[in-house]
């Protein structure tokens, strides 16, 4: 009789435990927080979606906005759970219809994000989501686009915050409710 040796799955009680760190990616000195391992695990992914939704339970939300690109994965799942529409904010030139644009600063240079000009109606209550909050530049640009269309931001939700880079403070200074699932030290 042959016995199979069974290795139990590692216990992963926290969302942070599902996120791997890749050293020196995409550049030397960067500690890349890779959420694809979280997305690939059904329990971890559900845990993240549930925890991102929890602070906004019972609040009326009309749309979920996801920031390019991993915010699309999260935003679609959250919009599905809430039975509301999903709206992507994309890099310049990626949306096919008439758009509005917002420039923002990167560590080295500038970038532009866009939103369809009819994606948010005045007075709609919007939840903004993304995987990572670093400097807050992309989120700030997205919030400005939503507000230009008359949307009201209910809050923002991220899986990872890198507090040393100041994104949370930037968004809170704008009056945003910022919810994060975990923090990592270092860039």
12, 20, 70, 147: the catalytic one is 70
Is 70 among the residues known to form the active site? Answer: yes
Q: In this structure, what CATH number is given to the domain that contains residue 84?
A: 3.40.50.2020
Considering the domain boundaries, does residue 17 fall inside one? no
Domain coverage including residue 98: 59-183
20, 43, 68, 107: the catalytic one is 107
Q: Averaged over 10-28, what is the pLDDT?
A: 88
CA 53 – CA 135 distance, rounded (Å):
23
Considering the domain boundaries, does residue 43 fall inside one? no
Considering the domain boundaries, does residue 179 fall inside one? yes
pLDDT at 131: 98
Please report which confidence band the pLDDT of residue 11 belongs to, taking 50, 70 and 90 as the band edges: low
pTM: 0.91
Considering the domain boundaries, does residue 69 fall inside one? yes
Write out pLDDT tens, residues 102-122: 999 976 789 999 999 999 999
Is 125 among the residues known to form the active site? Answer: no
For 20, 50, 179, the CA distances from 15, given in Å and listed in that order, are 11, 11, 14
Considering the domain boundaries, does residue 176 fall inside one? yes
Q: Which of 182, 99, 172 is nearest to 139 (CA)?
A: 172
Please report which confidence band the pLDDT of residue 136 belongs to, taking 50, 70 and 90 as the band edges: very high
Considering the domain boundaries, does residue 7 fall inside one? no
Please report which confidence band the pLDDT of residue 12 belongs to, taking 50, 70 and 90 as the band edges: low
Q: Averaged over 137-142, what is the pLDDT?
A: 98
8 Å CB contact between 156 and 183: no
What's the structural domain count of the chain? 1
Considering the domain boundaries, does residue 165 fall inside one? yes
The answer, yes or no, to whether residue 1 has pLDDT greater than 60, is no
Write out pLDDT tens, residues 36-73: 999 999 999 999 999 999 999 999 999 999 999 999 99
């Amino acid at each position: 009789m042959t016995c199979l040796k069974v290795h139990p799955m590692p216990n992963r009680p926290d969302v942070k435990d599902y996120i791997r760190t890749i050293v020196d990616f995409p550049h030397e000195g960067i500690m890349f927080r890779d959420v694809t391992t979280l997305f690939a695990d059904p329990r971890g992914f559900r845990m993240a979606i549930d925890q991102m939704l929890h602070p906004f339970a019972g609040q009326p939300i009309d749309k979920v906005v996801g920031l390019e690109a991993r915010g699309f994965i999260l935003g679609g799942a959250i919009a599905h759970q809430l039975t509301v529409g999903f709206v992507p904010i994309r890099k310049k030139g990626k949306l096919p219809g008439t758009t509005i644009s917002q420039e923002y600063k990167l560590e080295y240079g500038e970038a532009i994000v866009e939103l369809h000009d009819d994606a948010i109606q005045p007075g709609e209550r919007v939840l903004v989501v993304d995987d990572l909050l670093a400097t807050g530049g992309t989120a700030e640009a997205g919030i400005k686009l939503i507000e230009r269309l008359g949307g009201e931001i209910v809050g923002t939700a991220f899986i990872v915050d890198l507090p040393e880079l100041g994104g949370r403070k930037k968004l809170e200074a704008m009056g945003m409710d910022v919810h994060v699932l975990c923090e990592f030290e270092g860039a």
